[in-house]
Structure 1
């Protein structure tokens, strides 16, 4: 049977298969290498061959890497990613609903929104940082001298950094919503209105269940894009760092596999979020099919 299948394959199958295999190796090989090297023994180094197998470097990571508070950076990234995910979902869905109707200036608004995708990330970060520094100057000019001592800066995790991340995640969410509503059949909403449903009831019981898997996908995009963002965060976060920025700084100071252990932990978190999102999307899809039956 396998021989018959092999005879049916075109002459270009194996060259293309080899190219695809090399592509997958190029994409995921470095991640797999870091994962393997993070489980070395106490005598392990930054390169192969592996010296023993243990969780030693994960224990070292839990103890801390010098003066860097990895735990605090991890929680900051987790909190920022969660807020970005929530805002990306809400704003993308609302924008998708709004763009279903013709609105004045809609084309200009759309192009302004997606323009940040083609702007260099570091330029966006510098621009946002400059805006908030100008805001600081204005606030300090208005505050009395007694309050200036307690005022630091408007730059921060939930201000400038949040805005910088949303310039990256919102265009993706908006494009996904456009694709979803482009294929959406308005007859379902019309049927709900004919049965006496209010606009909110129509959205909650008809529209939202139908677009639910896509909404979950937008949330996954929002979190994962925020979780590992460096360039847009670098100049816009102020005096604290997210986990990717700390990881970038540690690459020049930490010379043990602890840095690989940190990379493994961040990768596991990313895959966990993607797994939860995929599982939730599949559950919503099955629930939708059962409801249709």
Structure 2
């Protein structure tokens, strides 16, 4: 048995720095998780005063005038829609950019530019665009004499319009960059072999390309949902007259002074980790299936 080599001189200082970094990143989340299980007399700080699910029950009953259930359903709907559109658009764009496109470089830079722009500026710009759209629609209705429709018209700002667009400016560039990395390493010989065997372009994509890029597609979906799920800045000005769960949570931090706010934070964190766990399990299953298929 060979003796263990001594650790380098810099190992322990780097290990301490890494441990402190992990505590700095995940310590607040762990603290909120622990404090959310306090008893009915619990406060916002340590020490714990009993252990129970009291604050989760209070959360289910509602926090004043805030409908947490409705806000969560809106966030889930928006996150699922953003996830689906991010996957479809990123995969299609990745396939398109495999060929030389006229103006492709300009299109790429326009797409990823939103990553370096301040989120609040993007949100304000989208709100302004939809306000101008509202003005145009109202002017058109007035010109057409549709007074009833004009009186009932509110705004084009909404969950599935302006908020959806704002979230896509955040998630789509990430999906596109992932697809670029995937197709940069993709071997076109698989597609050529499928075409030599008489496969149509759709059959080639469905039975050859998609299984090979499947784990990456799942990763794009995970990014799309989780980035949308906790987005605040890009949503704040573009959401209209409703709120998503992160906006409600932000508002409650100044009005709720009980561990119920921690229970809400714990619930949102559990949803995020559940989505990530499901995505990793699905990506792993697709990877095993692909390896099993290539070995037969």
TM range (shorter): over 0.9
Q: For 1:102 and 1:207, locate their aligned partners in 2 and report how far apart those are by CA, in whole Å.
A: 19
Q: Please name the residue that 2:131 is paired with.
A: 133
Aligned residue runs from structure 1 range 127-206, under 5 A: 127-143=125-141, 144-206=146-208
The TM-score normalised by the length of structure 2 is 0.97
Distance in 2 separating the partners of 1:149 and 1:71: 31
Which 4+ runs in 1 deviate beyond 6 A?
none
- Structure 2 CA distance for partners of 1:25 and 1:4, relative to 1, 3 Å: farther
**Cα deviations across residues 99-147 of structure 1 (Å, max 9, x unaligned)?**
0000000000000000000000000000000000000000001112121
2:239 match: secondary structure: coil
CA shift for structure 1 position 222? 0.1
Q: Who is 2:122 aligned against? A: 124
Deviation at 1:201, TM superposition (A): 0.2
Partner of 1:221: 223
Instruction: Please state how far the C-alpha of 1:8 moved relative to its aligned partner.
Output: 2.5
> 1:48-63 alignment to 2 at 5 Å?
48-63=46-61
Partners of 2:6 and 2:106 lie apart in 1 by 52
- SS of structure 1 residue aligned to 2:115: coil
Matched residues in 2 for 1:24 and 1:4: separation?
31
Aligned residue among 51, 67, 70 for 1:69: 67
Task: Calculate the TM-score normalised by the size of structure 1.
Answer: 0.98
Cα distance in 2 between the residues matched to 1:146 and 1:11: 79
Pick aligned residue for 2:86 from 88, 95, 98: 88
**In 2, Cα distance between the equivalents of 1:60 and 1:179?**
46
Take 1:168 and 1:258, find their aligned partners in 2: how far apart are those partners?
30
Residue in structure 2 matched with residue 111 of structure 1 by the alignment: 109
Which digits, 9 at most, give the CA deviation of each residue in 1:146-173, with x for residues without a partner? 2112111000000000000000000000
Pairwise CA RMSD of aligned residues? 1.0
Per-residue CA deviations over 1:25-78 (Å, capped at 9, x if unaligned) read 000000000000000000100000000000000000001000000000000000
SS in 1 for 2:283: helix
Report whether the alignment pairs 1:289 with 2:287: no
| 1:274 maps to 2:276 | yes
Match of 1:36 in 2: 34
Offset at residue 228 of structure 1 (A): 0.0
Q: Distance in 2 between matches of 1:266 and 1:176?
A: 26
Q: CA deviation at 1:200?
A: 0.3
C-alpha separation between the residues in 2 aligned to 1:123 and 1:25? 32
CA distance in 2, matches of 1:41, 1:185: 58
- List gaps (5 residues or longer) in structure 1: none
Tell me the residue number matched to 1:212: 214
Query: More displaced, 237-246 or 139-148?
Result: 139-148
Partner Cα separation in structure 2 for residue 58 and residue 135 of structure 1: 42
Shift in Å at residue 4 of structure 1? Answer: 4.3
Equivalents in 1 of 2:114, 2:288: separation in Å? 36
Q: CA deviation at 1:9?
A: 1.1
